[in-house]
Amino acid sequence: MTESVKDKAESATGMLKWLWLTTVVVIIDQITKLAVDGSFEKYERLEILPFFNLTLAYNEGAAFSFLAGAGGWQRWFFTGIAVVVSIMLVIWLRKLPKNDWWSAASIALILGGALGNLYDRVAYGHVVDFLDFHWQGAHFPAFNVADSAITVGAAMMIIEMFWKPGSAK
């Protein structure tokens, strides 16, 4: 039995159609960062709820400001990592079976977050963070929409490992 042209095209591109979700994450991430960066002074805070503020912070390091004060080399180091990981995620997405929407969504979210923060790092030399959760004077490190997408995508992958044991790709 021969495959139709549509089936051949779908099998060649895997789940690349999920790049729409990646695009949505990058757009929302960049719009929110621009809005906060254009409205706040660095470290200015606006209390939204008793446990949540909007604030403007610049992160020159990685997660939780890891290596933030390393002297500048970390900008290009983390840029390189983000580029390599993004390429690997696109390849992984392309190789997914066309019915594996859960994995596709999780990869697309992680990719969108990686690209959103990659843009900041290349364009500004730092990542713009603005979501500030706190409790009784203790603040969780500020983060952004891209970080949230990465976290949700990673959580989805972890859930999948328990949901479908042996499904690690």
Confidence of residue 24 (pLDDT cuts 50, 70, 90): very high
Digit-coded pLDDT (tens) for 98-152: 899 999 999 999 999 999 999 999 999 999 999 999 999 898 899 999 999 999 9
Q: Is 147 in the active site? A: yes
Give the ranges where the chain is alpha helix by DSSP (H). Answer: 5-13, 19-39, 73-95, 101-124, 145-163
**Domain range list for the chain:** 70-169
Beta bridge partners of 46: 54
Reported pTM: 0.85
Catalytic residue among 29, 100, 120, 129: 129
Q: Is 100 in the active site? A: no
Digit-coded pLDDT (tens) for 137-167: 898 899 999 999 999 999 999 999 888 766 5
Q: What percent of the chain has pLDDT over 70?
A: 81
Q: How far apart are CA 56 and CA 42, in angstroms?
A: 5
Q: What is the DSSP letter of 143?
A: B
Q: List, edge to edge, every strand of the sheet that includes 52-59.
A: 45-49, 52-59, 127-135, 138-139
